[in-house]
Structure 1
């Protein structure tokens, strides 16, 4: 008795979907191994599940492309790898410089804010005139905070 055809669409039940994925992944891995042996083909297969887990297969003649051994590669094969490495290093250096620059700016801003806080604590950030407070140019905030209720513990 033959198998019936199934409709190719997303399986809604997550348990059934996982079981089908596992069986079909194992099947395609087996097929990749068979075609490598039967046809003397170079096969590489990478499969990612919906959860992000990776499964891979590389035929024995292509395992050096996984980075385990590059001594057997020809000059023409090494050139794109070297170029990709140089591009990655240049990008890394740019990101490092940007990180240093932003860290420096953040540090400068923190020092400036610390200085402003000290000035405010010492009372030098405000000019007192007839009981009113006017922020000076050193105040980083455009407002001042006052309690909503008077302090009942102050003895005046």
Structure 2
């Protein structure tokens, strides 16, 4: 007795719906991998659950973006609007510009020069000369700044030495004035009082009179 035909309609029970989604998703993923391996086909599969969770599979030999480009070319349908196309073109332009800058940087470092002809080497040489001139100008400005600071420090040192010398002279002058004033005070001071001695009477020898 064969299986009865199952009516394809939305499963109302959320638990049963989730179980069915999980089983059938795994089955589809398995079939996609099998056809990719067995038939050497390029397969890309994207599934979104009812909650918005994404599941995807893509053959190892390709990528989802390449598959979408192929789909757009073969179906004639535009998957991207003009805004996205312009953005993609701008990204490609920036990538190409970045690659060219990387090549120029290697050339300026003296790398990968064998593939260049003499005419292509001329602008590289000019760029290096201009860069060297700029470095020398920067070094010259730096040396001038150092010399200016050195002169300022020398002037400041001279000024401090001058102030210190005059402070020492002022201190020495003050000490001399104090010494002169002390000498003058000694000249006009009254003479010291003479020392007086009191003569004690000689006591008779009492033992001699006995």
Q: Which interval holds the TM-score relative to the shorter structure?
A: 0.3 to 0.5
Higher relative contact order (CA 8 A, sep 6+): 1
Which one has the largest radius of gyration? 2
Q: Report the TM-score when normalising by structure 2.
A: 0.32
Q: Report the TM-score when normalising by structure 1.
A: 0.42
Structure with bigger strand share is 1
Structure with bigger helix share is 2
